[in-house]
A and B are shown apart, each in its own frame.
Chain A
Amino acid sequence: MAEKTRQRPPGVCIPWEEKRKELPTQITREDLIKAIWEKNDALAYVYIWHCLLSF
C-alpha cells in the first residue's frame, strides 16, 4: 500500500528527527531516548485517531 502521508507517518505526531534537533549533539543511549520518545508519541497518535474512530 502506498504511503500517502507526507509529513507525519502513521503512529507519529512529532517525529523523532524533529525532536532530536532540540537535544545536545552528544547524548548517551540515543537508541533508548528515541524508543521511549516514539512510544509516548504513539500514545498521542492513538488518542487523536481514537477520538475520530471510536468516540
Chain B
Amino acid sequence: MANEMEKLYQARLARYTTAMRNEKPDMVPIRPFVAEFTAKYAGYTCQEVTHDYEKAFDAACKCAAAFDWDAVVGNMVYVWTGLTQAIGLKYYAVPGVDISPDTGFQYREPPPDRAFMRADEYDALIEDPTGFLLNVWLPRVSTDVVPIGAPATLRNNLSFLKGGMAMLNYFFGFGGQNQRLRTECGTVSAIAGILKAPMDILADKLRGYLGLINDLMEQPEKVLAACEALMPHLTWVALSGADPAKEVPITIWMHRGCVPFVSREHFDRIYWPTLKPIIEEIWSKGHQVLFYAEGSWDAHLGAFAELPEKSIIYHVDRGDIFNAHKALGGKFCLSGGIPNAMLAYNSPNEVRACVKKVIEGVARDGGYIMDASAIVQDDARVENMRAMTEAAREYGQY
C-alpha cells in the first residue's frame, strides 16, 4: 500500500515538474489552489481552518485524498490567525471575531491618513529596510508592540515571544503536512517559498494603494529607490524558503502593479525593473518562480516574455489564457484559466466544456497545468470541482 502510494506520488511529481518545465508529460497535471473550499469539503467552518491550522492541514489532506489532484498547497488558507493574534497584528478581519465564522479572513487596508508608512518616511525605509520594519512598521501594525523609546510592556514582550514560537511551530508543521500529503494521498506539495514584487509590497503593507499612487505622481524617484532597497531582502526571503531539491517553484503573489492600477510608464520604469532582476537571480540559482498573476496582467505579457526560457510558470487569473499562450507559451508553462465564478455558479457541464476548450487551446504541446483562475474559496461547488478534475483527466491525456 505504502509502495503504491509512493509510486502514485512519483508519477504525479514527474507529471507536475515536466509540465512546469514547459514539456509534455503523460497527461495534463491538476494543481488547484484550494483554500476555504477544503473547509467546505471536509466539514469545517472558515473560522476553524483559519484559526486552527491543524484543521486546515486535515482539510487539505481530506481533499487531496478524495480528488485526483497531482499537487496542492499544504495549507492555502495561508494566514493562520492564531499567529496574527499572538503578534497583535491589527490588519486582518478574523472569522468569528470581526466577521462571520463562515467568511474567509479579510485584509483591511487602512485609509491613506493612517497608512503604516508615511509619505515622508521613504528615506528611513531606503536607508535600513529591516530596521524600519522592526522599529517603525511593527509597532504600528501590532496592538501590542510598543515604539522604540516607549516603556516596555508585558504585552510587547509576549508579542515577540509568542509570535516567534508560533511562527516556528507553524512553519515546521508544513514539513509533517507535506509528508502526510505524500504518504496518505500521493499528492505533491505544490510550492515552496514566497516572493512579492517590491512595488506590490510597498502598496500592500506600507503605503497602501492610494498612498502609493500619490507617491508615484509626487515622488516617483523615492518610490524607485525604495523598491531597489527592498530587492535584496525580498530575494533573500524567497530563496530562504525555496525547495532545496529545486523541483517546485517559489510563488510570487502579484497584486496591483499592473495597468490599470498603475500606468504603463510606472510599470515600465519602476515595477518591472525592480522585479525582473529578482526573477533572474532566483533562476540563476536553479529555482523557477510561479507568477500567480492575480487580476489581469495582459498589458504586460511582452515584458514577461523577456525572462529566460522556463524560468517562470505563468498563472492566468482574469487575463485571456489564449492570448497568454500566444505570447508566452513558447517559453513558459501556463496554469489556470477556469473562472472561479463558473466554478461557483455554473453547471458541471459548463465547467467540463470550459476545461475542454482551455486544454484544446493551450495544452496541445504540454506546458499547461489545470487550475481555477484564482484561489478556490468556499463558493466553489463540490460537483464543479469534481467536473473540472474529471474533464481534465478525460481531455488531458497525451
Contacts and interface: CB of A to CB of B under 8 A. Distances in A.
Interface of A: 1-13, 42-55
Contacts of B80: 55
B319 to A, nearest CB: 24
Given A45-B130, A52-B133, A55-B83, A10 B164 contact: no
Nearest 3 CB-CB pairs, A to B?
A10-B236, A7-B128, A4-B229
Nearest to A9: B232
Contacts of B167: 47, 50
A55 B79 contact: yes
A48 B194 contact: no
Contact of A49 (B133, B163, B229): B133
Given A9-B232, A10-B233, A47-B164, A52 B194 contact: no
A55 B84 contact: yes
A55 B131 contact: no
9 contacts: A1-B231, A4-B126, A5-B232, A13-B130, A46-B237, A49-B233, A51-B89, A54-B194, A55-B83
A34 B254 CA distance: 37
Interface string B67-82: 0000000000011100
Interface string B129-167: 111011001100100000000000000000000011001
Interface of B: 78-80, 83-84, 87, 89, 126-131, 133-134, 137-138, 141, 163-164, 167-168, 194, 196, 201, 205, 225, 228-229, 231-237, 240, 277-278, 281
Main secondary structure of the interface of B (DSSP, over half): helix
A3 B232 contact: yes
A12 B278 CA distance: 19
B126 A49 contact: no
Q: Which of A10, A11, A44, A47 has the most CB of B within 10 A?
A: A10
B260 to A, nearest CB: 25
Q: Which of A44, A49, A50 has the most CB of B within 10 A?
A: A49
A53 B205 CA distance: 8
B84 A5 contact: no
Q: Which of A3, A13, A42, A46 has the most CB of B within 10 A?
A: A46
Contacts of A45: 130
Contacts of A6: 127-128
A10 B235 contact: yes
A9 B201 CA distance: 19
A1 B277 contact: yes
B214 to A, nearest CB: 21
B196 A48 contact: no
B290 to A, nearest CB: 15
A7 B133 contact: no
A42 B164 CA distance: 12
Given A5-B232, A11-B236, A53-B196, 9 more contacts: A1-B231, A1-B232, A4-B228, A4-B229, A8-B130, A10-B235, A49-B130, A52-B201, A55-B84
